[in-house]
Amino acid sequence: MAETVYNEEMLDEVIDACIKHLRLQPNDHEKLFYLGNAFFLKKQYDKASFCYVKAVNKNPKNPVYYTHLGHAYRELGDRDQAVAAYESVLSLNPKFADAHFNIGLVFFENKIYDKALSSFTNALNINSKYAAARYYIGRIYEDQGLSAKAMKEYRQILEDSIFDKLKKSSVTIDFGAIFSDLGLLDQAEEEYRRLLKLHPEYADLHFHLGIILRKKGDGDGAMEQFRQAIKLNPHYMEARRKYWESAQ
């Protein structure tokens, strides 16, 4: 899905809702993670890292929590802590290509090119079409004056037909899901309808809006959204199941 622009008011609403929830359920690691993401998007990286650390302490087996913790430490300029967080991901799953890539980025940003090259190469060994890793390998070769080797890497990216934007990190929030999880169904519906104005072609958005409408007791509205999801993706079996459940 295309990148979504988050406004301050929405982020503040998520923060307030998560804090209220955590006062009642302080061990809810998922809400701690959501809260950390909201702080991250507000560029309050110290608060984000604090929330991620608490989420990790509550659920140390979730590699996503460590990944986002690494992103926060990177933004804070704490290279060692960032690498340690990404390495925690690899301790859970050594084949997690993104973790190798993120470690490579930390070393690249600090001009430690030998370690960066090793990490990017590890990512490519796991996923040979990892365009971002290949791009940064090319950048390292350029910095070393190895223009021919750099061009070979860039040419391979084009041959693989991967033209995605290369991002430093990816921290996103599905606000609709968070609002739904917190019982704020009106806000969840508003968010999914906002996204559908931007991306009416996404079957998942119609499906999730249908779930919200069903929770609100709007069976006809839910069926229409499930119908739209099926129209966009005829193989969307979960949407078909929910459609028939709503029809009964």
| pLDDT tens, residue order, the chain (248 aa) | 334 456 777 888 889 999 999 999 999 999 999 999 999 999 999 999 999 999 999 999 999 999 999 999 999 999 999 999 999 999 999 999 999 999 999 999 999 999 999 999 999 999 988 888 998 999 999 889 898 888 888 878 767 654 444 455 455 556 777 788 778 889 889 988 988 888 888 888 999 999 999 999 999 999 999 999 999 888 888 888 888 887 77
CA distance 233 to 38: 31
Axis-axis angle for helices 219-232, 237-247 (nearest 10): 150
8 Å CB contact between 190 and 213: no
Listed in sequence order, the residues at least 6 apart from 89 whose beta carbon sits closer than 8 Å to its beta carbon are: 63, 66, 67, 70, 96, 98, 99
8-159 with 185-247: one CATH topology?
yes
Listed in sequence order, the residues at least 6 apart from 43 whose beta carbon sits closer than 8 Å to its beta carbon are: 75
Q: What is the pLDDT of residue 180?
A: 81
Sign for the CA dihedral angle at 82, 59, 40, 190 comes to: positive
Domain ranges of the chain: 8-159, 185-247
The pTM for the full model equals 0.72
CA distance 113 to 106: 10
AA letter at 36 = G
Q: What is the CATH number of domain 185-247?
A: 1.25.40.10
DSSP assignment string, 67-93: HHHHHHHHHHT-HHHHHHHHHHHHHH-
Q: Selecting from 1.10.357.10, 1.25.40.10, 1.10.8.60, 3.90.1150.10, what CATH number does the domain 8-159 have?
A: 1.25.40.10
8 Å CB contact between 65 and 33: yes
DSSP assignment string, 208-238: HHHHHHHHTT-HHHHHHHHHHHHHH-TT-HH
